[in-house]
Amino acid sequence: MRNRSRRAVRTLGATLFVLAAGCSRAGPPSTPSMPPPGDGEFRLATWNIRFFPEPNTDVERTAGVLADLDADLIAVQEIADADALAGMLELVNARLAARPTDPGREPRRYEFELAASGGHGGQFVGYVYDENAVALSDVETLTRLQMTPDLRPGLFARVKSLRGGLDFQIIVMHTDSGTKDRDYENRVRFRDSLAVELPGRRAVDDDIVVLGDLNTMGRLAEGDLPPVRAEEEIADLDEDALDMGLRRLAVSPSCTEYYRGRGSVLDHILVSRSMDEVPPDAVARVGGYCAATDCRPVDPDDMPYDYQHVSDHCPVVIDLVDADRD
């Protein structure tokens, strides 16, 4: 589901979603926007947009959240409808075109690429990117990282900043969700497969980013198997990342999604340890209602508007140095 899909459906998608936006629920709260990237910075983000678009999705609000990220490249997960995404991006682009920009700088204009398959659940991973700031190339659906036919494959691309010259390779993933042993073992197998995948990629460029919804939720006790706490799975992810020459960026505040009123960390950004464009003390910032609540417990019967009508996940961003330091 590549350029041929998004361009063919743009007019239809935009029409459908302008109509949907007109039915948006009144009065969503104003979540403080994340500060914009600084001069000479490249903003990278990851965001699971809950089975976009669900029947109760507020498309206009979702478009506003995406626009306010002010990101050069956003790795997205759970895209259920390419037409819908094309239509929403038309809303985003119209909104951004109306905003003032710095002299000599074009407004952001977003396009997208999706993986060729979304698994049996039809949840596609992909990239939304500012075509005025980013060039994507060598886009490849990674079925080698899919684990089972009903799961989502990854999506690889080479990224080149059109402004400062930053370049790197990227893989977006949405791994198996669940706390059963089979779910947990699929996530372990994904990390093993990633360790096989990366050496060949490093032969081309050592700057690699792996990001997305990695579903680090642990495992419940099952038969003779002991439970694995979410924190233990994240620690194992950290250890495996180091073995692969990667490091996982800490997130602030300390959750990326909510479930039954409590926050947890499921979304991660892993970067090459040798990637000089990532500051050594870099922390991935979490936006949206996760930031507004500072990840405190919330009444599950009174969840924030964006949880109910946008996504149960919050966007996560990192600002990289927009320069080629290889």
Q: Is the pLDDT of residue 20 over 60?
A: no
Please write the tens of the pLDDT for every residue from 78-118. Answer: 999 999 999 999 999 999 999 888 887 899 999 999 999 99
Q: Is the pLDDT of residue 4 over 90?
A: no
Q: Is the pLDDT of residue 3 over 70?
A: no
The string over 203-234, giving b where at least 16 C-beta atoms fall within 10 Å of a residue's C-beta and e elsewhere, is: eeebbbbbbbbbbbbbbeeeeeeeebebeebb
Residue 5 has a pLDDT of 41
Residue 103 has a pLDDT of 81
Residue 7 has a pLDDT of 39
| Sequence letter at residue 323 | A
Residue 276 has a pLDDT of 96
Q: Is the pLDDT of residue 26 over 50?
A: no
On whether the CB atoms of residues 155 and 137 are closer than 8 A, the answer is no
The two structure tokens encoding residue 14: 């935009």
Residue 28 has a pLDDT of 61
The residue that leads in pLDDT, 14 or 267, is 267
Average pLDDT score over residue span 224-243: 98
- Average pLDDT of the chain, as a whole number: 91
Residue 173 has a pLDDT of 98
The full DSSP string for 57-119 is --HHHHHHHHHHH--SEEEEEEE--HHHHHHHHHHHHHHHHTS---TT-PPP-EEEEE-S--T
Please write the tens of the pLDDT for every residue from 111-143. Answer: 999 999 999 999 999 999 999 999 999 999 999
Domains along the chain? 3-24+38-319 (3.60.10.10)
On whether the CB atoms of residues 287 and 34 are closer than 8 A, the answer is yes
On whether the CB atoms of residues 159 and 167 are closer than 8 A, the answer is yes
Percent of the chain with pLDDT over 90: 86
Residue 203 vs residues 200, 207, 208: alpha-carbon distances, Å: 5, 10, 11
Residue 137 has a pLDDT of 98
Q: How far apart are CA 155 and CA 238, in angstroms?
A: 22
Please write the tens of the pLDDT for every residue from 167-176. Answer: 999 999 999 9
Work out the pLDDT band at 29, boundaries 50, 70, 90: low
Residue 102 has a pLDDT of 81
DSSP one-letter code for 34 = P
Work out the pLDDT band at 13, boundaries 50, 70, 90: very low
Residue 133 has a pLDDT of 97
Q: Is the pLDDT of residue 144 over 60?
A: yes
Q: How far apart are CA 129 and CA 310, in angstroms?
A: 20
